[in-house]
A and B are shown apart, each in its own frame.
Chain A
Amino acid sequence: MRSYLLGLSLGILASGIIGCGGDDDKGGADAGSTFKGYGANEGGEFRAEYVTFADGTIGTRVVSFFYADPGPTKYFPFPAIPGCTDMTGLKNWPMATNPVAERTYLDPGTITMSGGAKTLTVPRQTAEGVDFLNRTHSANNWFFYFNPTDGADYVKAQTLQSVAITGSDKFPAQTFTDVLYTPAAFQLNAPGLGPVAVPAGMDQTFTWGTPDSMAGSMPPAGFTIMSLLAFSGDQGPAVLCVEPNDGSITVPAAMVDIARAKYPQGGTLARQTFAHNPIQMKDSTGLTDRRIDFISTWCFATSWTAP
């Protein structure tokens, strides 16, 4: 059985988000109860990205970690969907976390991602570090891979891919079959790959193609393709906009100004489509009330400036 059948649609997610702000413990799957999908408490993440950079090179970026306990706050609300969210306060998933000292990680053993041209073993990070969403992880408890030129090797568009862990005493070996689906390759319409000047006090509209909506190119059942735009920088996204993928996102002027206040020298403009698949976590005690977020993304990472 494909594990993504446990997921809910992002449409359901969106309505759930609005109603649960500030609720820091969603509870969940006690014996006999139903897994809450996007509404379940956090159990970790596997995120794979196919990234096209401004110079046309293509890379793979992967991050993963798993929690035995995410800390005192078990559930951080999702960003607004549809809409734009100020991420600078670190109140929303995926950037919000409890302090690293208050989190307990699970050891997954070795993590591999298959289904692309090659199988990727995601390197364990042996030093404390900060991932690209500005989340600090303790040494040996996070996995990260980045290669700016091997995008065609590991992440494949319009393809189901699987993730496997070899496990440990508290987190048994398991394979998450067909848990990732990467959206179709799309083209930027306007603006293109070059640096994008983002003036203060003005709405900004971005457009791109939507091949996932073409006949014969629809995602498999259980997956919904969403679009995302982020004004990002060295401390992660300042503003995150997420909508159903209709080929256009307009960022309101107020959000533009927040991005400029955070990154007055500009930064990285992320334009992407993605599929997000929450899977019920199973540890050595059996099924838990926590979710693992599996996310696969087709992304352009270019630069923006703040004139």
Chain B
Amino acid sequence: MRIVAIAAVTAAVMAGVAGALAGCGSSASPPDAIGPCWPDTVGPAKGTATLGTGRAAFEDMPDMLPLEYGAQAGFDLVANVRMSGLDPGDPASIISPTNPRTRIRAFFADTNIPLNYDANCPFREAYVPSATGDYQMAMGVAIVFEICWRSDRLIGQRIRVDLELEDDTNGYTSDSKTVTAAAPSSPYPIDQDSPGCMH
């Protein structure tokens, strides 16, 4: 049975989105106008990247990470990335072929089940200079879960978040963090005995 805990959801959460992943290393998605979703073979190691959180600016990833409940009627977590040593791309254009590919996917840490079965493709936005002299995402991004993952299946669970980053020279780096999913700070539907996602 589902109980809707109501009231205002924060604006940032409101805008929330949908979310991420499939099997590691898969690149089954078709190409789009700005190139393939994800290359079949990643390039040589280059640069460094750190996976964190934070909307307005990069923050270190905490052990307990509050989820968000978004307008898609599902949950997401906020990720942010700080990187150096790779081409940051062109912040003026999301379709610039020089923009790096930032793929972030989330999995239940204990079972390796993806929290967004379909999501294989990367974010294509450029990076911007950070206060620490390297680069970061212009804003944190929502790593959105399929809407069949409800609160009873998420809150308190350990979630592994994998980052892969490849620039326009095929330089590649990665990072991974495991967090415990905490309840959103704003109201969200409280579900019980939900079946979860089945694929």
Contacts and interface: CB of A to CB of B under 8 A. Distances in A.
Contact of A57 (B4, B10, B11, B70): B4
Contacts of A134: 15
A306 B119 contact: yes
A306 B120 CA distance: 8
Chain A interface size band reads 35 or more
Contacts of A20: none
Interface in B1-47: 4, 6-12, 14-21, 29-34, 37
B170 interface: no
B17 A267 contact: yes
Interface string A95-139: 000000000000000000000000000010100011111100000
With most chain B CB atoms within 10 A of its CB, the pick from A131, A144, A236, A306 is A306
Interface stretch (A73-81, A212-220, A243-251, A296-304): A296-304
A55 B150 CA distance: 12
Contacts of B71: 51, 53, 132, 232, 268, 301
B72 A267 contact: yes
B119 A264 contact: yes
A82 interface: no
A301 B144 contact: no
Contact of B118 (A232, A302, A307): A307
Interface string A233-265: 111100000000000000001101110111111
Nearest to B188: A148
B95 interface: yes
Interface string A195-212: 101011100000000000
A158 interface: no
With most chain B CB atoms within 10 A of its CB, the pick from A53, A131, A268, A301 is A268
A262 B4 contact: no
A303 B31 CA distance: 22
B94 A262 contact: yes
B73 A53 contact: yes
Contacts of A195: 18, 146-147
Contacts of B29: 200, 306-307
Interface stretch (B58-66, B135-143, B173-181): B135-143
A271 interface: no
A147 B5 CA distance: 10
B116 interface: yes
A276 interface: no
Interface string A27-66: 0000000000000000000000001011101000101000
A145 B8 contact: yes
